Amino acid sequence: MTTATQHALTEDRIRLLRDDFPILAEQPGGVPLVYLDSGATSQQPRQVLEAEWAFRTQRNAAVHRGAHTLAALATDDYESARERIARFVGARPTEISWAMNATDALNTVALSLAAANRAGAVDPALRILAGDEIVVTEAEHHANLLPWQRLADETGARLRWVEVDDDGVWSTDALRALITERTRVVALAHVSNVTGLIADVPAVVEAAHAVGALVVLDACQSVPHRPVDLRALGVDAAAFSSHKMLGPGGIGVLYLAEALGAALPPARVGGSMITTVTMTEHEWLPAPQKFEAGTQPVGAIVGLAAAVDYLEGVGMAAIEQHELVLGQRLAAGAASIDGVRLVGPPPGQERAGIASVIVDGVHAHDVGQVLDAQGIAARVGHHCAQPLHRRLGVAATTRASAYLYTTDDEVDRFLDALAGVRAYFGAA
């Protein structure tokens, strides 16, 4: 890394860090790139690209299979990555298993709970009966909503949700009020991918655990952007994705607290996750291996571990502080533009480095085209959160999401371009 100390992300330091990201020097459409879509997919530094390339060209082999030297080296890389990622989120290596992405990881939890119930689970932590309740929020990404809809349908449980207000914000008190003795699962995002709302996870965990419910955390927008200690938070399961934290696509992480990982059956079965198989019987390996059926994307896992090393070198506290400031800059700037409606916590209230907006009289897709013509890559659409947008009364919003390589100037370029959108379309 160009600089590896833990000091604040000043403009000078960010400029040096940006040299590690080749794509940021690109000029799509002939104008300098302003990349404000890291909430969807972050960019990768050379260190990550080189780590994955080195594995694929020097140590590529099947892990936990074969006795040759190359297989042993690949296995060492594979398990070293698990240890580094576990440390990064305050977990034990046995609590970290691989998934295709965070969506797959969240589905794994729900599918494993469904499998436990089909098998007649006797463990009260796994048993979901007709009339029991699964609690979510109206702001959830579809990846943390659809698996629970399906689990409710299969078990006869009732899906309940805390509603958002006119700004797309839900309250901790309202969520806790929904938790009852019948609640079996509470699933929520640590940080909303639309509003930037930061959930009070410890308060939710305390209320859920008081009635014996499991807490499942969508950590996609928190683990890449702030220090996260999953064991300290007390959640039972969590998921996050490599491609949102400087790593390659095609790999996600599933955290299962030790007790839950030991109790849950696997969602998928096949090679690599068994000890013994006969024509009529089988025996699973313990967690995490029992959740890792089949050949894993080892090169991508090595790349993710390199991304974690990079993030640790920059300093997660520094990244968090930088993005909190950018979040306020985005929120205040957007809220000050006539005809632009900011979604989520208002300026001055804590929010992540995400700002979604509604431009009066202009569809979000048209807003995105105006921004793109000026080199600004922002996200438009429902962001896989249709219920939230339906509550806001719109089909889509325009979202700017910052990361460690985002500068004040880039935020200002976005805000300047946003301020001109209504006039461009004659809607002012």
> Which segments of the chain have a pLDDT < 50?
1-5
Angstrom distance (rounded) from CA 255 to CA 233 = 12
Q: Is there a domain that residue 1 lies in?
A: no
Same domain, 237 and 338: no
Burial of 151 (0-12, 13-18, 19+ CB in 10 A): buried
Predicted structure pTM score: 0.96
- Contact assessment for residue 197 and residue 162, using Cβ atoms and an 8 Å cutoff: no
Q: Is there a domain that residue 375 lies in?
A: yes
Q: Is 384 among the residues known to form the active site?
A: yes
Q: Is there a domain that residue 83 lies in?
A: yes
Distance of CA 185 to the CA centre of its chain: 19
Distance of CA 225 to the CA centre of its chain: 10
Tokens linked to 305 = 């571990």
> Euclidean distance between the first and final Cα of the chain, in Å?
46
Same domain, 280 and 132: yes
Q: What residues contact 202, with CB distance under 8 A and at least 6 apart?
A: 233, 234
Same domain, 303 and 333: no
Strand 183-189 to strand 237-241: parallel, antiparallel, or no bridges (unpaired)? unpaired
Angstrom distance (rounded) from CA 372 to CA 34 = 9
C-alpha distances (whole Å) from 15 to each of 11, 244, 288, 405 are 6, 21, 40, 8
| CATH value at residue 30 | 3.90.1150.10
**Helical segments of 167-290, H only:** 172-178, 201-210, 230-233, 258-263
Same domain, 57 and 39: no
Q: Strand, coil or helix: what is 369?
A: helix
Q: Strand, coil or helix: what is 53?
A: helix
Mark which of 296, 312, 328 sits at the end of a domain. Answer: 312
| CATH value at residue 149 | 3.40.640.10
Same domain, 216 and 296: yes
Q: Is there a domain that residue 4 lies in?
A: no
Mark which of 312, 335, 359 sits at the end of a domain. Answer: 312
Q: Is there a domain that residue 357 lies in?
A: yes
- Contact assessment for residue 112 and residue 265, using Cβ atoms and an 8 Å cutoff: yes
Tokens linked to 374 = 């000026």
Same domain, 220 and 321: no
Strand 133-137 to strand 158-162: parallel, antiparallel, or no bridges (unpaired)? parallel
In the chain, how many domains are there? 2
Domain hosting residue 251, numbered range = 51-312
C-alpha distances (whole Å) from 300 to each of 8, 47, 51, 81, 245 are 29, 13, 9, 10, 13
pLDDT of residue 6: 55
Residue type, 189: A
Q: Is 381 left (phi over 0), alpha (psi -120 to 50) or beta?
A: left
Digit-coded pLDDT (tens) for 26-53: 999 899 999 999 999 999 999 999 999 9
Same domain, 257 and 363: no
- Contact assessment for residue 305 and residue 84, using Cβ atoms and an 8 Å cutoff: yes
pLDDT of residue 122: 83
Same domain, 111 and 249: yes
Type and span of the H or E element at 313: helix 298-314
Active-site position among 384, 394, 419, 428: 384
**Order of strands across the sheet that contains 397-401:** 340-343, 354-359, 397-401, 379-381
Q: Is there a domain that residue 342 lies in?
A: yes
Same domain, 94 and 31: no
Same domain, 156 and 194: yes
Same domain, 97 and 234: yes
Mark which of 270, 285, 312 sits at the end of a domain. Answer: 312
Same domain, 362 and 282: no
Beta strands in 144-273, from DSSP E residues, in sequence order:
158-162, 183-189, 214-218, 237-241, 252-256
